[in-house]
Structure 1
Amino acid sequence: MLEFVSQPWPWYVAGPLIALTMFLLLFFGKNFGVSSTLRTGCAIGGAGKINDFFDFNWKSQIWNLVFVGGMVVGGFIAATWLQQPDPIPLAPDTVQKLQEMGITNPGEEYLPSEIFSWEGLFTLRGFILLVIGGFLVGFGARYAGGCTSGHAISGLSDLQLPSLIAVIGFFIGGLLMTYLFLPLILQL
């Protein structure tokens, strides 16, 4: 592990970089969003012959595929070499509540093995959280016309009312999941 990566970038560095990226995307007439890369991937695979939704000039979206590929490579690099060796500092109340919900070592790892592991996948709660949850996220992104990054970063910076409505829905859904459904699912 590399020791120089002990803190995230401060807001006054990361925020302007995000704003600069959005300005450049808007300037060049591009929209930012990760869920649209699935449509591009399907179009590359020939799905445009089956459904008109996938019949578009996918070559104009190659930059988005490169971006998502960079996210995958960056995630691998971060998980392999840039992990924080110290436990995640959680409030004692949070640790207690997570332990009551079945997470044995909250804060010891970013992804609790009770949920994010092959063994966890083959439990009822793992199946609900990973498989059904993944399906609902994909369905929701398609139904909302984009994902959280597309609406919250690109849509709001472009002052689009549908993106504001979608982001409000994302927050309401996140709050309901965190405070209502997740405690019930983790008790399974």
Structure 2
Amino acid sequence: MLAWLLEPWPWYVSGPLIGLAVPILLLLTGKNLGISSSLRHIGAACRPNSKLPYLSKNYSWREHTGTLIFVLGVLIGGFVGNYLLSAEPGNFIPAFYASPLGVVGLFAGGILIGFGTRYAGGCTSGHTIMGISALNLSSLVATVFFFVGGLLSTWFILPLFIP
């Protein structure tokens, strides 16, 4: 009966489900879908008296607890999907990244992604799922360049590190 949960879902099922999350979120909460702002919320919660304007005491992270709950749900959902609903659970981090070069690559990639999401005004989910559905031209441009960057990294940069 539940065997269909153990197999990857086809794009024509999972795509519309992801797409329906946008209007449902807007209707129920009036908020946009996105995850990159959660780092700011966590930082403001951990450092409520910070001198950084980005985490200033005038910023109320409590107004954004829904985003933090969403991030927690993504983490729990990933764990449940991988370990409880998968016929063959995969590793979250491939063996290559356990090496010193892999750790440096993850660290550098994390910094670049963090800088890029703040510079672009949002992450891939925020721009691609939410921004394009809201017909934002800047989100369309950002999404095109997310894909261009991913393709360039996959075909030209990653082969330099993985034999």
Taking the aligned partners of 2:97 and 2:159, their CA distance within structure 1 comes to 16
Match of 2:122 in 1: 146
Cα distance change of structure 1 residues 47 and 166 upon mapping to structure 2, 3 Å threshold: farther
Per the alignment, residue 40 of structure 2 pairs with 39
Contact 2:7 2:86 in 1 (8 A): no
| Counterpart residue number, 1:82 | 85
| C-alpha contact (below 8 Å) 1:34/1:150 kept by paired residues | yes
Q: Percent identity?
A: 43
Letter in 2 for 1:5: L
Aligned equivalent of 1:73: 76
Give how far 1:8 is off: 2.2
Residue 30 (structure 2) pairs with residue 54 (structure 1): no
Q: Is the 8 A contact 1:5 1:84 kept in 2?
A: no
The RMSD of aligned alpha carbons is 2.4
**Is residue 8 of structure 2 the alignment partner of residue 8 of structure 1?**
yes
Q: Does 1:25 align with 2:25?
A: yes
Partner of 1:104: none
TM-score, normalised via structure 1 length: 0.73
User: Is the radius of gyration larger for structure 1 or structure 2?
Assistant: 1
Change (3 A) 1:111 1:24: closer
Distance of 1:186 and 1:10 partners within structure 2: 30
Cα distance in 1 for residues equivalent to 2:117 and 2:96: 23
**Residues 34 and 64 in structure 1, CA contact (< 8 A), matched pair in contact too:** yes
1:157 & 1:66 partners in 2: Cα distance?
Answer: 23
Looking at structure 2, the residues matched to 83 and 41 of structure 1 have their Cα atoms a distance apart, in angstroms, of 31
Deviation string for 1:43-75 (max 9, x for gaps)? 112356312222423222111111110111122
The alignment of Structure 1 onto Structure 2 pairs a total of residues equal to 159
73-82 or 33-42, larger mean C-alpha shift = 73-82
Hey, which of these two has a bigger chunk of helix by percent? 2
1:140-179 alignment, distance < 5 Å: 140-179=116-155
Give 5+ residue unaligned stretches, structure 1: 87-108
Change (3 A) 1:21 1:48: farther
Mapped to 2, the partners of 1:4 and 1:147 lie a distance apart of 31
Long gaps (5+) in structure 2: none
